[in-house]
Chains A and B, each alone.
Chain A
């Protein structure tokens, strides 16, 4: 069984705070690591796909890093805004199963 763990499960921050959360995944048979943002009543939206150890990706105030040797990825949000409120899902792509396995998500609430 492949375990993809995200922490924390939920997070409440004030507008303007910077925040980060973690995705842990198996360090063997790595193929890709995806991050998605899922707002209530909408479709999950792709943020990043990372494939190389040491990858860093950035989109506006959101960035992500990847460490495949130790099996973790961090997602950072700088200066959180209320519109950043969503569930952030990571997903691990395994080279030996060909499957993308999702973590349970981190739910972020940003208070104005």
Chain B
């Protein structure tokens, strides 16, 4: 299995909702990442997990809460989001944090209404 699977592909949520994004890989990669991408902008790093521990949080607001329950799974819990949080959320994994090729999921297109 050489894929990163993200679910759901699309999500519409209200500002008072709680939802979760899910990311799964079975390549034995020990680093996993969440990126946020808005139209015509580069993907922006949000969180890095290394060996299931959070190693980088790019000062992301607490309404985004990451979780890595095991080495194959990465979740992003969403609560009380704002319309400006609407974006494509990409998950990626790699064997090594810097020199390993990243394998990306196809993303979750999130709309906050």
Residues on B with C-beta less than 8 A from A41 are: 106
Determine how close the nearest CB of chain B comes to the CB of A40; give it in whole angstroms: 11
Residues in B66-113 with C-beta less than 8 Å from chain A:
90, 92, 97-107
Answer whether residue B43 sits at the interface, using C-beta atoms and an 8 A cutoff: yes
| A105 surroundings in chain B (CB, below 8 A) | 42
List chain A residues, Cβ under 8 A from B105.
43
Question: What total of A-B pairs shows CB separation below 8 Å?
Answer: 60
Q: Is B99 within 8 A of A31, CB to CB?
A: yes
Bound complex: CA A93 to CA B92 (Å): 15
Residues of A near B42 (CB, < 8 A) are 4, 89, 101-105
Among A43, A89, A91, A104, the residue within 8 A (CB) of B4 is: A43
11 interchain pairs, CB-CB under 8 A = A31-B98, A43-B4, A43-B90, A49-B101, A89-B42, A99-B45, A99-B56, A100-B45, A100-B98, A102-B44, A103-B42
- Give A contacts to B, CB under 8 Å: 4, 31-32, 34, 36, 41-46, 49, 51, 89, 91, 93, 95, 98-105
- Using a CB–CB distance below 8 Å, which chain B residues touch chain A? 4, 35, 40-45, 48, 55-56, 90, 92, 97-107
Q: A43-B103, A95-B98, A99-B56 given; name 4 further pairs at CB < 8 Å.
A: A43-B104, A46-B102, A89-B43, A98-B56
